[in-house]
Amino acid sequence: MLGRVLVAGGAGYVGSHCCRAFAEAGWEVTVFDNLATGWRDLVQWGDLIEGDLNNPADIEAAFQKVKPDAVAHFAGSTLVGESVHEPEKYYRNNTFTTLNLIEVMRRHEVRNIIFSSTCAIFGKAQTEYLAEDHPFSPINPYGMSKLMVEYMLADADRAHGIRSACLRYFNAAGADRDARTGERHVPETHLIPLALKGAYDPDFSFTIHGTDFDTPDGTAIRDYIHVEDLAEAHLLALNALRDGAPSNAFNLGTGLGTSVAEIVAAVEAATGRVLPRKTGPRRPGDPPRLVAAPDHAARTLGWKATRSDVDTIIRSALAWHQKDWQRE
């Protein structure tokens, strides 16, 4: 056994994939989740402790039971548009809850934490590819709440020796290779699940939000990264902290930008169906282009995205959703 890891938010999309990667590598996994947005059936690689990061007593009880060597923190609220209208929810669920977690880690002398961060901390891209030293300028409360956590973790390291790896996702996509876990949100806001639903459900209206961005085809460009590639990066970062690596931050992406219109075309190709669509206004807080410069993760962790071509992403997502739609 490599150690015991407590996975906050491990019943969710990225968290559940990381639980599989951790468990298969030899970590003893325990999931800590309030199931507000997570799913009991996605907890397949370790026991579940139901609890809420808003309640320090719940965290304390979990630490007493598990005695973790490390924490992987995926819990929180993630909807950019909602954060604009309900900012207090994001500062409570993302920032305040992490303070609770850090305080319990300090009491139990747990020194290693993997944090699920986001490229939203950068705001509008000032360079074609976003490296770790790109200026921080979040344009929505979601990004600001995550940036605050990164600052908190840096201070916790300086003050208490709590070392962290902040993993900044670009656009997580795809699903587990065996369709054992995948993307399931209520409401669903992510592009690929919505496009797949639109291709198969005649009663669902698929909308492209914004066709007037300053991009070649007018639709937003993002860096789509397969969730299993993300899980591999988390495992490498967790192992590095276990082996004594210093705190670090990593931008996780492919370095390739794909537009919404290109994703739509790829969904049509994968399904053999025409995707009916309508256009709507941009969502609040959406920048036109976000593409990672993943060189630092490659140099430091030896990590590179290997499953993140668009066709593989969409095929794996389709296999998961076709299975999951039968549950509904």
Any idea which residues carry the catalytic annotation?
A: 142
**CA 202 – CA 12 distance, rounded (Å):** 28
The Cα-based distances of 231 to 22, 23, 144, 265 in angstroms read 8, 11, 24, 27
Distances (CA, A) of 244 to 57, 93, 110: 29, 30, 13
Give ∠ CA 61-79-114 in degrees, rounded to 5.
45
CB 118 within 8 A of CB 292: no
CB 54 within 8 A of CB 97: yes
Task: List 169's β-bridge partners, or say none.
Answer: 118, 252
The answer to whether residues 152 and 178 touch, using CB atoms and an 8 Å cutoff, is no
DSSP 193-243: HHHHHHHH-TT---EEE-S-SSSTTSS-EE-EEEHHHHHHHHHHHHHHHHT
- CA dist 39 and 319 (Å) reads 19
